[in-house]
Amino acid sequence: MGTLSEFTALDIHGIQHSLSEYEGRVLLIVNVASRCGFTPQYAGLEALWRQYREQGLVVLGFPCNQFGSQEPDDEAAIGAFCSSTYDVTFPLFAKVKVNGDSAHPLWQHLKKSAPGILGSEAIKWNFTKFLVDGKGQVVGRYASTTKPAELSDDIERLLQSMTPST
């Protein structure tokens, strides 16, 4: 199976990015929504970003409206909400589909690389999280109920594995 560097995605401002921009970084990729019971996790995701970004973590948020229509707004409104409500500064992307035939290729890859409970590839709800190592390999999948702070140990372990020993 390939690595994330093979994929591209539009950011929240409509600019195409190659995920190869993030090679050598630990990534936390999350499908997000502004009107969900888990929306307060934006604060925890931002806290992780601020705590670990200098060490090599990048949080990537992908808005998705496939779960209870909890992300109905356009990208401008999503960006404004995230900024004004949670002071989000980590990269946000354009809305994507994460399930079904029209799921974004990145999300198809994430789901195949790290199936959920009982081997299901489907994303069950907003704020499903995928952790990717510095080589672009998916190393973990976390449920919506997993709070961002609970990922600190896994993130630190991956960041430490990237640091050359002297």
Angle at 145 between CA 60 and CA 44, to 5 degrees: 45
Sign, CA dihedral 51-107-11-32, equals negative
Q: Of the residues 4, 36, 57, 114, which is catalytic? A: 36
64 is catalytic: no
Q: How far is CA 15 from CA 3, 20, 49, 97, 117, in A?
A: 21, 15, 21, 18, 34
63-98 burial: b if 16+ Cβ within 10 Å, else e: bbbbbeebbebebeebbebbeeebebebbbbbbbbb
Query: Which amino acids are annotated catalytic?
Result: 36
